[in-house]
Amino acid sequence: MAGAATRVTKAPEVRREELLDLALELCRTQGYEAMSVEQVTKAAGVAKGTFYHYFSSKADLQTQLVRRFGAALFDHLTAASRHVQGTATERLRAIMDAAATYKSHHADVSQAAFLYTNENFALRHRLFEEWREQARLVLLPVITDGVADGSMHVASAEGATDIVLLLWLDAADQLWLRAGRSADAEAFIQVMVDGSASILQAQERVLGLPEGTFTMPIGPEVRQLLRKLHTTLDRLQ
């Protein structure tokens, strides 16, 4: 019939990614807790049946959103580890450098301050649990090799991995929360710089490495990234 609306059909993977993109944007603007399935479908212009074709529930949407959020990052870190020839310590340094580079060039990770709103507490918790498991798959083989090649000195590779992951995730999480209470951007930057140096120092000691093994050059690019993070950070009450 002339003038009738044409229904747009999209490939399943395209539609799924579109729904995830819209859900992520809603998490940014109003928080995961406040977001509803109806809001996602309305933003996408689809029926609820379409949503439930891809996700069994809002919780399933959260699971898939969390997995997508870190999948590319950990693929990148695994590749970085495999491409370095040298000691396990050198491989770990390459992984950390790769993580810093990735975060500075990918908006979803570098602008993740929205996770630190009260409304996104559950999403952040799920994300960190997923990252902990993915990071273990990358980190444990490196520390195990470090014990074998003598470049790392730990009582247990498993135990050392647990502690390094606490530094990467839990200590970094507390650093974010503390930095978020800073009075201004410069104070925020200083807290992040000093806190990150402390985390690196603790990691050296956990792994039995010489002081200065891990460094974080603080140049204009890093300061600009931190300043950008401060502007996107939802102020913590």
Q: What is the pLDDT of residues 83-105, one digit of tens each?
A: 877 899 999 998 998 888 777 66
Q: Which fold has domain 66-232?
A: Tetracycline Repressor; domain 2 (1.10.357)
* Domain boundaries defined on the chain: 7-55, 66-232
pLDDT band at 218 (very low <50, low <70, confident <90, very high): confident
Q: Is the pLDDT of residue 110 over 70?
A: no
Per CATH, the architecture of 7-55 is what? Orthogonal Bundle (1.10)
pLDDT at residue 189, rounded to an integer: 92
pLDDT confidence tier of residue 235, bands split at 50, 70 and 90: very low
**b/e burial code for range 135-172 (CB count within 10 A of at least 16 → b):** beebbbbbbbbbbeeebbebeebeebbebbbebbbebb
Question: Would you say 180 and 192 are in contact if contact means Cβ atoms under 8 Å apart?
Answer: no
When comparing pLDDT for 136 and 69, which is higher?
A: 136
CB 117 within 8 A of CB 34: no
Q: Report pLDDT for 2.
A: 45
Three-class secondary structure of residue 218 per DSSP: coil
Judge whether residue 5 has pLDDT over 50. Answer: no
> Is residue 74 a contact partner of residue 195, using CB atoms and an 8 Å limit?
no
User: Residue 148 — pLDDT band, cuts 50, 70, 90?
Assistant: very high
Whole-model pTM? 0.78
pLDDT digits (tens, 9 = 90+) for 154-212: 999 999 999 999 999 999 989 988 998 898 999 999 999 999 999 999 999 999 999 99
- Quote the longest CA-to-CA distance of the chain: 76
Q: Are the CB atoms for 231 and 107 separated by under 8 Å?
A: no
- The model's confidence at residue 121, banded by pLDDT at 50, 70 and 90, is confident
Position 237 confidence tier, pLDDT thresholds 50, 70, 90:
very low
Return d(Cα 5, Cα 22) in angstroms, integer. 23
Give the closest residue to 65 by CA, choosing from 5, 7, 21: 21
From CA 79, how far away is CA 123, in angstroms rounded? 27
Same fold, 7-55 and 66-232: no
Q: What is the mean pLDDT of the chain?
A: 85
Higher-confidence position of 124 and 92: 92
Dihedral through CA 206, CA 133, CA 59, CA 235, nearest 10? 30
Q: Report the range of poorest mean pLDDT among 10-14, 15-19, 34-38, 176-180.
A: 10-14
Higher pLDDT, 11 or 165: 165
Alpha-helical segments (H) within 83-120: 88-105, 107-110
